[in-house]
Amino acid sequence: MKYFLAIIGGGPAGYTAAEKASKAGKDVVLFEQNAVGGTCLNVGCIPTKSLLYGAKQYYNATHAQKYGVTAENVAFDFAAMQKRKTIVVRKLVAGIKARLNNEHCTLVNGAAKILSPSESEANGLCSFSEQGERSYCVECNGQLYEAQYIMICTGSTNFVPPIPGIKDNPAVWDSTDALAATELPKSIIIVGGGVIGMEFATLYHELGVPVTVIEAMPTILPNLDPEVVQILLDKYRKAGINILTSTKVESINGNELTANGQQLTAEKILVSVGRRANLQGLEALKDLELNRGAIVIDEFCRTSLPNVYACGDVTGKIMLAHVASRQAEVAVAKMLNDQMLNDPYGEADRSTGGRLEMVNYNAIPSVVYTNPEIASVGITEAQAESMSIPVEVRKLPMTFSGRFMAENEGETGLCKMIIDANNHSVLGVHMIGNPCSEFISAASFAVSNGYTTEEMQQVVFPHPTVSEILHEIL
């Protein structure tokens, strides 16, 4: 059977594209070698958030005295937390499968490989349309599939840095190992104080495991607003998390680690120093343009090859699930538009500069699920400076919100707004304080649509909510 679209990888990019193209009445085949849902659903966002929620319940119960509540004999069962996590993941994966099934998308469980034009021709599958348009051939589980469009959504895997003693060391975990463990480690060293590192530091600390974080840069979470990060750093250090910055790991021997000449020991060493694009199965695409190991895409997620798109972590743009699914929406909209115009290579759009929807990379919200949470969207003060954009920076402690005061005893939080000094448009918002992850989308609306502070002032925020901080700061 010839498909309109063959998608390799069933994470947020792949399943979003499959659903959208199938809904439009197109024949779609989706290849996934593991479970649909990808890293996010199976070994990333969802399992970590499930475990973090369990840890937060325990932590809150044991720190409830400040709210006038004394809880005695509070205990947790890590195996039960893990079991619940597995059930949450299983339900969500089943939901994705059902959605794909409802849209009559063909789901193939296996590792797919794109064939070269000569291999495809040898199989009699590399056909050409009247317009000279070539189709692609994908092999999976010994079967061949032909498709007009290809979408590469193969994601990323944990990067293993070249540290002596790291490979094949049972004391060394990556985030997938940590999520699969049925027992808590007695102590842990986390190498990399980025998003994964700080979320796991939160999980283990809240469950009473001694944690050391080793970060090579002068600060943890180096891409975020430094004032926001400092609040987390101060709180975590005060709470007893050992955070070593500007520290390089020299070697690992069993469960002993040497960093900046200092010896550190823990039962487990979790390495979270970034992720790299997965390019397996794409070897036949010899002319596929790469940059630093990731697939280069244009504003519609088109690669350097005709009718081959790429979305998600494999593009190395911003490794977030919501970026992947937005890219997939844009890519499918572009394919459908080209079909409608009978313009298979999208030349009309290339020459007009694109009339279609695109991903607004300047307004991607991001959240770090520490306690307190960090949420941000748009540019930071430092980025504005490096781009020579004159800005006004407004700051307000979260305690200006009545609801925050009522529910966050002992916390101050911070909301920072970066405003264009010339036209007063909101360019960035950076916050720390619970539950800022739940209302960063209001700031995303403002940044994405270029709202001015005057326009935002006219929006009514419900009282009392922590979200009111976005109004108070104006």
Question: Is 463 one of the catalytic residues?
Answer: yes
Peptide bond connecting 306 to the previous residue in cis, omega within 30 degrees of 0: no
State how beta strands 391-396 and 290-291 pair: unpaired
Using rule CB under 6 A, residue 265 touches ligand NAD: no
Please tell me which residue in 63, 104, 430, 463 is annotated as part of the active site: 463
Using rule CB under 6 A, residue 369 touches ligand NAD: yes
Using rule CB under 6 A, residue 188 touches ligand NAD: no
Beta bridge partners of 95: none
Q: How near is the Cβ of 150 to ligand NAD at its closest, in Å?
A: 25
Q: What gap in Å lies between CA 43 and CA 3, rounded to an integer?
A: 30
With residue 80 as reference, give the H or E element that holds it.
helix 78-102
Using rule CB under 6 A, residue 196 touches ligand NAD: yes
Using rule CB under 6 A, residue 194 touches ligand NAD: yes
User: If you search the block for the tokens 């590792």, which residue do you land on?
Assistant: 111
Q: How near is the Cβ of 274 to ligand NAD at its closest, in Å?
A: 4
Using rule CB under 6 A, residue 166 touches ligand NAD: no
Q: How near is the Cβ of 122 to ligand NAD at its closest, in Å?
A: 40
Which of 5, 89, 172, 191 forms a contact with ligand NAD (CB under 6 A)? 191
Q: Is 379 helix (H, G, I), strand (E, B) or coil?
A: coil
Using rule CB under 6 A, residue 157 touches ligand NAD: no
- The rounded Cα 329 to chain-centroid distance in angstroms is 16
The interface region with ligand NAD, picked from 177-185, 268-276, 345-353, 446-454 by CB under 6 A, is 268-276
Which of 5, 43, 189, 249 forms a contact with ligand NAD (CB under 6 A)? 249
N- to C-terminal Cα separation, the chain: 58
The interface region with ligand NAD, picked from 60-68, 267-275, 397-405, 443-451 by CB under 6 A, is 267-275
Strands (E), 238-342: 242-244, 249-253, 256-259, 262-265, 268-271, 275-277, 290-291, 294-295, 308-310
Using rule CB under 6 A, residue 273 touches ligand NAD: yes
The footprint of ligand NAD on residues 209-228 (CB under 6 A) is 214-217, 222
For residues 400-412, one letter each, b for 16 or more C-beta atoms within 10 angstroms of the residue's C-beta and e for the rest, the string is: ebebbeeebeebe
**Chain residues in the site for ligand NAD (CB under 6 A):** 161, 191-197, 199, 214-217, 222, 248-249, 272-275, 319-320, 366-369
